[in-house]
Structure formats: C-alpha cells, structure tokens
Amino acid sequence: MALPKSTEPQPPLSPAHCYTLIPCDQLEGGATVLPFYRHRTTQYCRRWPMITTILLLLLLLLLSTVVYVSWPSDPTVKVVRLRLDRIHIHTLPIINVDISLYVTLKVRNVDVYSMDFRSLDVAVKYRGKRLGHVRSGHGHVRALGSSYVDAEVDFSGISVLSDVVSLLDDLARGTVPFDTVTEVSGRLGLFFFGFPLEAKLFCAVLVNTNNQTIVRQTCYPER
C-alpha cells in the first residue's frame, strides 16, 4: 500500500542538513572529509543585478551620445577675406563715396548631415549703418565639411557727411570696421530624412586697408 505524499511544501535544505559534523573519535580509518562548496549558479545569480545595472547605464550613455551628435546645429559662417577693391570719392554735386568690397565667406557644417543651402544673403554695415547686401545662389556642404563662397558688394553714393568723414578718417589710419549679417536658408539631410535650416550670424570685422587682411573678427548667432 502506497503512503500518501505530503502536500505541504518542503523548506529548502541548508548546508547544515546536507553536512553534519562528525566527532573526531567516530571517524573510521580511511575516511575522507570533503569541504562544502557553494554552487557557481548561486554566485552568478547574486551578481546578475549589478551586471544588469551596469549594462543599462552604458546603454543610456550610448543613447545620450548618439542624440547629442546627431542633433541638428546651425552652420558657422566666418569672413576669411574682406578686401576693398575700389574707393571712389565724388566732390560734386555733393561729397559722396562709392565702395566696392570683395568678400569670401567660409561656411562650415558641424553636423553629421549634408547641408544644401538655397540662398546665402550677406549684408554689410559701417558703424551701424547698412550699406547694402549681396545674395549668393545655392550650394552644397558635405557632412562635417566646409565650403567657400565669394561675393562682390558695391556701395554707391554714401553721402551722409558724418559717415564720409568717419570713413576717410578710418582709411587714413589704415583700419576700417565693418559689420556683416549673414542669413543662410536651406536644408540638412541624411538619405531620405531632412531638416529645414534657417540661420543668421553677425560678425564684427576690422580690416587693415594697407595689406587687405582681417585684423580682428568676432562672430555670434543673431536671433
């Protein structure tokens, strides 16, 4: 006749149940005592939460880096050359000045996407007064690359006496301060994905008219 099995759950066995201390005087000759070893699976189970936490932190750091690198940014525009090609002073019927400027801009794409700009508008100011502007056509800048844009700006009839006197004084000293406002519109794209691009940058440029070099330049985004 089979004995009924107990339905109550059995408590887990501890090392004390598996191994019982035997007094030394009861050990028989040739008996071998084996030490108790913990199972490797138990050690892995205890380390698993720590390993999982480290992996999650590494994954979060990786995602943050990817988002930071791939987030669209405005291009940087720098005036690498601004040369006074022609200065013509008229005395009749009133004193006025005609100026021709040759401007070279460096457009740098700091994103991992290629950039296609539809237009690039450069306005030139002298001592806060807008002299004129020039618009460049479309262009392409590869990812993390740079492109140069050349433009010629002609200003005719600067007739305000205070502006003429200040310009003549700056020319006599050999340095002329100009301000440039550059507006870029286009598109950032990677394969079939695209982002609209609208950027406006202001640069204060000090030009040495003796050797036609830029002495100092400060640029920052203008909102």
* pLDDT given for residue 11 in this prediction: 55
Position 1 pLDDT exceeds 70: no
* pLDDT band at residue 31 using 50, 70 and 90 as cut-offs: low
* pLDDT band at residue 50 using 50, 70 and 90 as cut-offs: confident
Answer with the residue of higher pLDDT: 79 or 26.
79
- The mean of the pLDDT values for the chain is 77
Q: What is the DSSP letter of 171?
A: H
Tell me what the mean pLDDT of segment 174-193 comes to: 84
Query: What percentage of residues in the chain have a pLDDT greater than 90?
Result: 8
CA-nearest of 183, 202, 195, 168 to 97 is 168
Position 182 pLDDT exceeds 60: yes
CA-nearest of 186, 183, 220 to 202 is 220
Query: Quick check: 216 and 206 in contact, CB under 8 A?
Result: yes
Tens-digit pLDDT profile for residues 132-150:
888 887 888 888 889 898 8
* pLDDT band at residue 20 using 50, 70 and 90 as cut-offs: low
Indicate the residue type of 194.
G
* pLDDT given for residue 95 in this prediction: 72
Q: Which two tokens stand for residue 16?
A: 């004390």
- Each as own residue / partner, the long-range contacts of residues 97-101 (CB below 8 Å, 24 or more positions apart, any chain) are 97/157, 97/158, 97/159, 97/164, 97/167, 98/154, 98/155, 98/156, 98/157, 98/158, 99/131, 99/154, 99/155, 99/158, 100/152, 100/153, 100/154, 100/155, 101/152, 101/153, 101/154, 101/155, 101/178
Task: State how far the alpha carbon of 214 is from the alpha carbons of 156, 174, 211, in Å.
Answer: 23, 12, 9
